[in-house]
Structure 1
Amino acid sequence: MAKWDNMLSMLWMLRTGRKLTAAQIADHLEISVRTVYRYIDALCASGVPVVAESGHDGGIRILESFKDTPPLFFSAEELKALMDAFKFAQGAGYPYTEEILSVLTKVENGLHEELHHDLSRRTSGLDVISPARPPSLIPLLRELEQAVKDGRTVRIAYRKANAEQEDEREVDPYGLAYDRNEWYIVALCHRSQAVRTFRVDRIAQLIPTGALFEKPERFSASAYFRDQSNRDREADGPLTVIRIEGGQDALNAICHHWHLRHYLTERTDREARFLIDAPTMNKYLPMYLMTFGPVIRVREPLELKRRIREMASSIVQLYEDVDLV
C-alpha cells in the first residue's frame, strides 16, 4: 500500500475513538512501528491533532474536536487529479477557475513540505494549452449560468459567422455546453420560437430582462446536441457498419468530426468503426474521406468503397487530356 494510502487508513482507524498502540497500527497496516511514528509526524504536520500518550493506559488517539470534522486529507493521486482537473478547467475557459484555485490553495497550505514537493513533481508533466479567448467570455458564462438557474429571459446582441453586424434577439437560456473547444448556450429563441444553439464568444452584449420562463423538465444540453446530430441523418432505418483504418492523426480528425463523432462505436490505434444510415453515408462520406488521400482506407462497407472509387475515377477522367510533360 502506498505511503499516503497508509496514512489515510491510519487516520480512519484513529477516528473510531479508540486508543491504539503503535504496534497495533503497525500490525494492521503491515508496516514497522518506526514507520507508524513517522506517519504520526506527517499527520501532525498536515494539521491532524494526533496525540501519543505513554504509560499503562496510553496509546495513540486524535483529539475529540477533530472527530466530528471531516478530514481534509487526500492521497497523492487524488491531489494530482485535482490539480490536473484545474488545468483542464482553466484551458476550457471554465468561469469558476478562480474559485477552484482558491480551494486548491487552501489544500496546498495544509500540506507539509514533503507532500507539497511530491505534488509539484507529480503534476509537472502535464499542461493544457488553451486557445485565445475574449476577456468577456468568463463574465458572459457566469451571467448565462445565472439566467439558466433563475429562469430569466435575456436579450443578446449576437453576431453570426461572417456576418457584418450584430443581431438582437430575446432568448430563454436552457443550459450551457462545452463542445469542440467552444462554449454554447442552448436557448429558446423568441423570434423563431424554436430551441437554438448560440456560441457564447459571438455574444457581444447580454442584457437581463424582467421576464421569467420555465425550463423543460429534465432538459440536458448535451442530450440536445446528440439529438440534433441524430436529426441530421438522411433517413431512419437500418444502420451500416463503417470500418476505416489509417494513421492516428487522420483517425483522430475523423473521429472528432462534429457529425461523425456521434456515430463512433469503437476505436483502436489503427481503426475506427461507425454505425450510420446508408443515405447519410453516401451523401457525406465519399467526398469527406477522399480529402485524407492515401493515409486512410475504408475496409467496409463495399458500397462506400465503390462510391469513393467512382468519385476518384471521375476526377482522373477530368484530367486525362492534360499534358503533364
Structure 2
Amino acid sequence: MRASRLLSLLLLLQNRGQLTARQLADELEVSIRTIYRDVEALSASGVPVYGEGGPSGGYQLVAGYRTRLTGLTGGEAESLFLSAVPAAAAELGLGTMLAAAELKLLAALPAALRDRAGHVRQRFHLDVPGWFREADPTPHLAAVADAVWNQRRIRVDYQRWAGPTTRTLEPLGVVLKAGLWYVVARSAGQLRTYKVAQIVALEPLDEPFDRPPDFDLPTFWAAWARRYEKSVHVATAVVRLAPAAVERLPGVLGRAVADAVQRTSIGPDEVGWVTATIPVEKTEVAHRDLLKLGADVEVLEPPELRALMTETASRFAAAYLA
C-alpha cells in the first residue's frame, strides 16, 4: 500500500510540478505527517526531491528528472474505461484507481501531450444526472460491481413494483442510463435487468459462475431498451397540440412520442395546432405526463383519459378562479 502511495506522490510531483505538503496530503487522502515521512523515504531511495519553505514553497523534483515507473495495475486499467465519468467511477468504488491510472498515463506522455490532456479536461465534462434531480442512492452498487468483475453470485432482496422478492443473481454487467444504474444479470437461467437503487439488501456469495460465451453487454442493452420502450406504451391517445407543445415533446415525453407526432399529425389548423395519435402508458401515467404540457395539449381520445384531464382542469379552475 505504501509503495503504491509513494509512486503516486512521485507522479504527482512529476506531472504537476511544485506542490505543498497540504496539497499532496489532500490528493493522497493522508495526513501531512505521512507526506513528510513519504518524502523522506523517496529522498532516501535516490529520488531527487527537495522542499522550499515559505508561503510560495513546497516540494518538487530536480529539473529534468523523470521516472519510468508507469505500469498500470489491472484495476487501474479497468478504471480507465470510466475516465470520462469520474462520478460514476467513484460510485463503483474505482475513484482511487482512476486517479492513480491517470497519473501514470500523464507521466508517460511527452510534455506537449500532457498539456493537451489537461486542456481537454478543462473543456469537456460529462454530468450524468438530469436537471433538478439527484442520482438515486445506490448503496450496493460497489458490491454489485465487485461481483461483476469477479464473476461471483450475489443474493439480493429486491423491491419490485409488485412487492419485495429475493433473488440469486449472476451479474454480467452494469449500465448507467440517464443517471440511473442498472445491473444485467442471469437469474434462474434467464437474462433480466434490475435497478440497482431497488436492491435493499445484498449478500455476496462465494460461488463463481461462467459468463455466457455469446453475451455482449452493449448489444443486449440496446435490444432490451428498445423492448422496454415499446412495452411501456400499452395504448394510444389522440391529442391536439399547440406549436409550443410539439417543440417540447422530445424533452417532456420522449423521442418515441415526438416521432409519432411527426408521422401521424394532421394540420396545422387555423390557430396552428396539430392533431396526432401518440403512444401512451396506462391512463394514470398518461394523465400525469400530459399535464406537463399544460394548456398546450387537449386530449380527444380515449374518453377515460379526457375525463381525467377535464377533472384536473376543473380543479385548477376552482383553485385559481375562486
Q: TM-score of the superposition, structure 1-length normalised?
A: 0.47
From the CA coordinates, give the structure whose radius of gyration is larger. 1
